Amino acid sequence: MARATVGASSPPPDAGSTRETILRTAAQVFLAHGYQEASMDQIALESGMARRTLYNQFGSKKALFDATMAHMWEKMPLDSIIAASASVSPPEEVLHTIGLTIAAFWAPPEAVAFMRLIIWESSRTPELGDSFVDNGREPARHAVREYVRQLSLTPDFEIADPDLASTQFIYAIVGEVLLARLVAPSTTDLDEQRRDYVVREAVALFLARYRVHP
């Protein structure tokens, strides 16, 4: 029978799984303690990683926070969703898909907690607000604006201000799914049935306002 080699080293951890573990742990620590009070030492301890590993991967707490925000926003890939559906689906279906993606992103309590964190910490650390915009909100909104601009160029829609029309559509959803829950004493997940209803109403409002009717 073959004997196990004494002192054989285990394979190194996968870089992707290491990064994922750090980002997931960092999100938990930032939410629990806030940006100012969270430390790289604490994140290293709770993730089971060496402190050097965190700095090798991210360089600083601010860079780790930026990466955490970017990782969170990856759950709302509006650009790829629009690219995959816009050429083959009617506008009402594309808008419904966009809306459901936005609603699903903000539905979990963790997403609401992150928004609370940004609002609270931005007064003391303004660059965190910049991270929120640069790493997710603006790219997501840009994708919606570009689609609405494309609609404005078709004879079926009359949209004089695509930027405003995009904002109206987004906030018809976000106002219900996110904003009302920011000040709620407790936050629970928003169920799929409610999200679908909110999105369908937002789509109906958009089409009633901007689609050209015979």
Highest mean pLDDT: which range of 19-23, 67-71, 138-142: 19-23
The C-alpha torsion from 97 through 99 and 101 to 102, rounded to 10°, is 170
Is 21 within 8 Å of 47 (Cβ atoms)? yes
Question: Is the pLDDT reported for residue 132 higher than 80?
Answer: no
Tokens of 12: 């190194």
pTM: 0.79
Mean pLDDT of 104-129: 85
Q: Is the pLDDT of residue 96 over 90?
A: yes
pLDDT digits (tens, 9 = 90+) for 146-155: 999 999 999 9
- Which has more confidence, 76 or 197? 197
Rounded Cα–Cα distance for residues 125 and 128 (Å): 6
Residue 93 has pLDDT above 90, yes or no: yes
User: How do residues 144-193 score in pLDDT, each as one tens digit?
Assistant: 999 999 999 999 999 999 999 999 999 999 998 888 788 876 667 788 99
pLDDT in tens, 50-92: 999 999 999 999 999 989 988 888 888 888 888 877 777 899 9
What SS3 class is residue 18? helix
Instruction: Tell the CATH topology of 75-210.
Output: Tetracycline Repressor; domain 2 (1.10.357)
* Token pair belonging to 198: 């909110």
Annotate 167-203 with b (16+ C-beta within 10 A) or e (fewer): bbbbebbbebbbeebeeeeebeebeeeebeebbeebb
Give the residue extent of every domain in the chain: 15-64, 75-210
Count the Cβ atoms, other than its own, within 10 Å of residue 68. Answer: 25
**Contact call for residues 65 and 30 (beta carbons, < 8 A):** yes
The least confident of 18-22, 45-49, 107-111 is 107-111
Question: What top-level class would CATH report for the domain 15-64?
Answer: mainly alpha
Query: SS in 3 state form for 47-111?
Result: HCCCHHHHHHHHCCHHHHHHHHHHHHHCCCCHHHHHHHHCCCCCHHHHHHHHHHHHHHHHCCHHH
